[in-house]
Structure 1
Amino acid sequence: MEFVDITADDTKEIILMATNACNLRCKYCYETNKNAPSMQLDKLKVRLKDEIKYKSKGFKRFVFNFHGGEPFLAFDKIKSLVEWVKLTFPDLNITFTTTTNGTVISNDIKEWLLIHKKEFIPILSLDGDKDVHDRNRGNSFDKIDKNFFSDNWPNQGIKMTVSPNTIGNMFDSFIYLYNIGFYPNPTLAREVDWNLEIHLPIYVKELKKLSRFYIDHPEVKPGQLLDLPLHKFSPQYISKHFNSCGAGFNTIAFDIYGNRYPCQTFISDLKKGYDKSEMDRIFSILEKNNNLNVSPKCKDCSIINWCSPCYGINYSNRGDMGNFDSTMCVFNKVTLLCSAQMFSEIYFDYRKYPWLGVKSEKEIYHSIIGIKNIFKTVSL
């Protein structure tokens, strides 16, 4: 299936909280409210009609992302809503997706997924081999039919979360997953006990090994960790929004009751109710399209136009969108510098890398300028 870049300016991601329930209790999960309710379809359908009709002009593609909890615990409602969306918006270019822990995929779900294989992408969460995976995700490794995912979506990335107790295994876990037929996308766990003195040197070492793998294997497109929007660092580049995640712009989320948020990380404890005036205030701040209004302390940071270390998590955990986790800022800078170094070598011998064909000449041009700007301005 064609890769869908949800960060592209012409693509809108609509995140739907399928259910808060989950059958696992992963140690690094930021979703702390594991309540049982699932989507209230009647309310949600009304909100989606409004979102598409009045708030989605200029978008050419849409991604409907079912979020959890474990989304497939609400499989019947997902199935129902997918069919409704297809009938209601037949002229829209729509892809459906979800991230699943893979442990509740029954034969009925498998059959439905295969029927809808060309339009529905199930992204598997898998952190490495059995030892690494089970460190944080219980004894769930053996409950996953890994062949079902690798055989049917061989080019689709999987979510590989890296935590303090698995950071030293990051590259080996990547290689393990790649060798069994997956396309791993490592991401660092949020809101966990990262220690820069201990973990940063390990992370740098693992990043260097990962970037060298991509350089030495031209047939493998770099994953999301290192395939960063370097073109946005060109002073000449103009984007619809500064922050890379697109919360409140390219990304919108709805909770199970149909309440609207900039993204799913703003959805806190549903028992507290929805504060519409507060969310209107949050949207108003984001719509000003200026990171400096959100975090004045980042005023002089050279990566402010990309970094945006999760406004929603900052808000939900510390009550302030601009209250960034300073540890993650350092990790972000290291990641960006490694990405720039990797692409400087790749662009030097660009004919070797067939996947560069998906990038426009304009993006490549601005990326090269952006790399020069990153090396000039970014320091730890």
Structure 2
Amino acid sequence: MQNKIIHPSFGDLSSFKAIKMSKGPLLTDENYLEDESILMHLTVTGRCYARCIGCVNSAVTMGNDSPRDTLDTCQETEPEQDSKIIELLAKRHPDKAITVCFYGGEPFLALDKMQQVWKILRAYDTEKRFRFLVYTNGELLIDALRLYSEFMKDIWVYSVSIDGSEEQHNRVRQGTRLGKILKNLNMLSSHYEGNVLFWSTLRESQSLYDCFEEFFKLYKKKLVNHFFWHWAEDRKPFLDFSSYIIRYGQELEQIMSIYVQEISKGKLLPITHINELILYFLTGKERGHSACGVEVSKNYDIVSSEVYPCADLPSNLSIGKLDKSEHLELRDFNLSSLVNYKNRLGCYRCGVHAYCGGRCPVQVIAGSWQRTLQYCQLMRLHVGIVQENMDEIINSIRENGISLQDIYDRSAFLAKYTDVVP
């Protein structure tokens, strides 16, 4: 049985009808151009020393409650072979830009191999279709800049895991230290002018507002320029869900109050998924698939030279690899089966499904139903709180001449490169 949370404004958050998004556009029929690139996630290494509480790779994908061991040398990339796979996958989408996302573990623990993949693909990429993103804990950037400055400057986005202030971050990412990350970001900022995403993973013991305060401080120092947060996938339910959801709601209201203040002055805060959700309200659009779109083949994930629909899904869901002749064989796989859970959850009857899309299949397939149902209530609360602020946001958009494209380009464009929704 799930905990039913009764909210003073929205009522029973376990109800599909607790929050109902508008079916039509709230503003105009104005449109905007979206990033249509194909994502290819390459697991560079399985090694990681961060010892994060609730590591998704350990707790969910591997079904192990212990943090991943830094000595785990599995899942190391083979640069020549994996670059070949990426090239062959890119040929399947000749008219699309390709975003190669370096994933881990901690990718910078295999810096030489990661740089080699980049070098091979840059030589292959005569049409300039490729760009590169790296997900990192942010502690190893200085050494990488010294060794491979050209590679580092060519990265389109650095997604850096920061889980709040020094006390909070160091407590939940026990193998890393925020002070060291900040030194690395300071060095990066003197060599690099691109996108740095501050990515927070929220666990029950953490404060969302603490994460936001740290982001806002670094944003003002121009060390980061985008913010995203996501509830950690887990097999275990919340210990005290009632307390957590109340606290989350209060802290999100604080953040939205600041967002509203800033947009009234013509300033769009670069909170990636808040800006994307605002676009959903303004246009009345529907996602049409799960958050990441795994069931419609929007991504390819390459792990140990095998192709998966998602790197965080169990290893038996591989869909192909290179054969001995270096031909890429992708088996037919009905990816729609990955979201069959949406019928059981009642997603299609839920008032926030247009935005949520059923969130992430990983939580249901490799996590637990009880935790997932708790996330359903959190998602309704999240959408409802943003929706309560839409009248003021629309007034500010009109008064300051902010276009939908402005909102998208400010930070919503990065949503597809995150876990998309909280």
- Structure 1 position 188 matched with structure 2 position 204: no
The counterpart of 1:202, out of the listed 232, 247, 263, is 247
Output the CA distance in 2 between the equivalents of 1:333 and 1:94. Answer: 37
> Where do 1:96-245 residues align within 5 Å?
96-110=132-146, 112-113=148-149, 116-138=152-174, 139-144=176-181, 145=183, 146-151=185-190, 152-153=192-193, 156-167=196-207, 169-181=210-222, 182-183=224-225, 184-191=227-234, 193-194=237-238, 195-218=240-263, 219-229=267-277, 232=280, 237=285, 241-245=288-292
Q: Note the C-alpha offset of 1:353.
A: 6.6
Output the CA distance in 1 between the equivalents of 2:154 and 2:281. Answer: 35
Q: Is the 8 A contact 2:237 2:370 kept in 1?
A: no
The change in CA–CA distance for 1:294 and 1:125 in structure 2 (over 3 A counts) is same
Which structure would you say has the larger RCO, counting Cα contacts within 8 Å and 6 or more residues apart? 2
- 2:374 equivalent in structure 1: 327
Q: Note the C-alpha offset of 1:127.
A: 1.7
The change in CA–CA distance for 1:163 and 1:279 in structure 2 (over 3 A counts) is farther
Q: Is the 8 A contact 2:200 2:230 kept in 1?
A: yes
The counterpart of 1:24, out of the listed 47, 50, 69, is 50
- Structure 1 position 65 matched with structure 2 position 101: yes
Amino acid at match of 2:337: I
Q: Is the 8 A contact 2:80 2:117 kept in 1?
A: no
Amino acid at match of 1:251: N
Q: Note the C-alpha offset of 1:204.
A: 0.7
Output the CA distance in 1 between the equivalents of 2:158 and 2:178. Answer: 17
Q: Note the C-alpha offset of 1:217.
A: 1.4
Count residues in correspondence. Answer: 340
> Where do 1:194-343 residues align within 5 Å?
194=238, 195-218=240-263, 219-229=267-277, 232=280, 237=285, 241-248=288-295, 249-257=297-305, 259-268=306-315, 274=318, 280-283=332-335, 285=337, 294-298=342-346, 299-307=348-356, 308-317=358-367, 325-343=372-390
Identity of aligned residues (%): 18
The counterpart of 2:81, out of the listed 43, 60, 74, is 43
The change in CA–CA distance for 1:311 and 1:14 in structure 2 (over 3 A counts) is same
Q: Note the C-alpha offset of 1:342.
A: 3.3
The change in CA–CA distance for 1:141 and 1:222 in structure 2 (over 3 A counts) is closer
Output the CA distance in 2 between the equivalents of 1:292 and 1:273. Answer: 15
TM-score (norm 2): 0.70
The change in CA–CA distance for 1:40 and 1:154 in structure 2 (over 3 A counts) is closer
Q: Is the 8 A contact 2:79 2:117 kept in 1?
A: yes
The change in CA–CA distance for 1:304 and 1:13 in structure 2 (over 3 A counts) is same
Q: Is the 8 A contact 2:158 2:195 kept in 1?
A: no
Q: Note the C-alpha offset of 1:237.
A: 4.4
Output the CA distance in 2 between the equivalents of 1:13 and 1:273. Answer: 18
Amino acid at match of 1:162: L
Question: What does the per-residue CA deviation read over 1:105-135, in whole Å, with 9 as the maximum and x for residues that have no partner?
Answer: 3434455246542444322211222111111
Q: Is the 8 A contact 1:128 1:160 kept in 2?
A: yes
The change in CA–CA distance for 1:180 and 1:231 in structure 2 (over 3 A counts) is closer
- Structure 1 position 352 matched with structure 2 position 352: no
Q: Is the 8 A contact 1:242 1:306 kept in 2?
A: no
Stretches of structure 1 that go unaligned for 5 or more consecutive residues are 1-6, 361-380
Q: Is the 8 A contact 2:285 2:354 kept in 1?
A: no
Stretches of structure 2 that go unaligned for 5 or more consecutive residues are 1-32, 63-67, 321-328, 409-422
Output the CA distance in 2 between the equivalents of 1:98 and 1:282. Answer: 29
Output the CA distance in 1 between the equivalents of 2:133 and 2:195. Answer: 14
Question: What does the per-residue CA deviation read over 1:196-240, in whole Å, with 9 as the maximum and x for residues that have no partner?
Answer: 30111111111111111111113243412412345557897476x
Output the CA distance in 2 between the equivalents of 1:345 and 1:119. Answer: 37
Amino acid at match of 1:44: D
SS in 2 for 1:226: helix
SS in 2 for 1:217: helix
TM-score (norm 1): 0.77
Question: What does the per-residue CA deviation read over 1:328-354, in whole Å, with 9 as the maximum and x for residues that have no partner?
Answer: 111111122223333432222214375
Output the CA distance in 2 between the equivalents of 1:163 and 1:260. Answer: 30
Q: Note the C-alpha offset of 1:58.
A: 5.2
Q: Is the 8 A contact 1:123 1:156 kept in 2?
A: yes
Q: Note the C-alpha offset of 1:136.
A: 0.5
The change in CA–CA distance for 1:106 and 1:149 in structure 2 (over 3 A counts) is closer
